Amino acid sequence: MRKRTRRRRLSMTSLIDVIFLLLLFFMLSSTFSRFAEVELSSASAGTTGTRDVTRSFVQLGESSLRVNGEEVALAALPESFAETAPEADPRQVIVSLEADVTAQRLTDLLVILRGIERLTIRVLGS
C-alpha cells in the first residue's frame, strides 16, 4: 500500500518577490527621454515687417502636398524651395493642415523643412 503524500501549496511570497524584482529591473533600465523633438511655432496675427521676406504657403493633406497651389512630392520639397527663392533672401513658410493629416505626416514635413537653410516655419492653428 502506498502512502499518499500531500502536495504543499505554492508560496505566493516568493512569486511576488520575483515580480517586484523584475518590475524594478525594467523600470531602472528603461529610458524615459524623448527620442527626437520637433519645435513648433504657431502662426499668429501681427504687423508686416519692413524687410523683404519671401513667403510660401504649404497645404498638407494625408496624401497631398501643395506649395503655393502646386502639387509637390514630399521628397522633392527641398528642390521646390530652391527654385522659388534665391539663397540670399530670408524665407518664411506657412503650413496649413487639412483635417485628415496625421502627426507622423506633419513630423515628416517639418523634418524636411528644418533641413532647408534660412527658413522660418509657421504652422497654422485651428
- Kindly indicate the confidence band of residue 1, based on its pLDDT and cuts at 50, 70 and 90: low
DSSP assignment letter at 27: H
- The cell 496624401 sits on which residue? 63
Q: Put the strands of the sheet holding 91-97 in their side by side order.
A: 70-71, 65-67, 54-60, 91-97, 119-123
Give the chain's mean pLDDT. Answer: 79
- Kindly indicate the confidence band of residue 20, based on its pLDDT and cuts at 50, 70 and 90: very high
How is 59-115 classified by DSSP, letter by letter?
EE-SS-EEETTEE--STTHHHHHHHHS-TTS-EEEEEEE-TT--HHHHHHHHHHHHT
Q: Please report the domains of the chain, with CATH numbers, ordered by start residue.
A: 54-123 (3.30.420)
**Main-chain phi, psi angles of 54, to 5 degrees:** -85, 120
Mean pLDDT of 52-69: 87
Which of 26-40, 43-57, 85-99, 112-126 tops mean pLDDT? 112-126
pLDDT at 25: 92
Question: Which has the closest alpha carbon to 68: 50, 54, 88?
Answer: 54
Q: How far is CA 60 from CA 8, 24, 82, 90, 117, in A?
A: 66, 44, 19, 22, 21
- What SS3 state is found at 16? helix
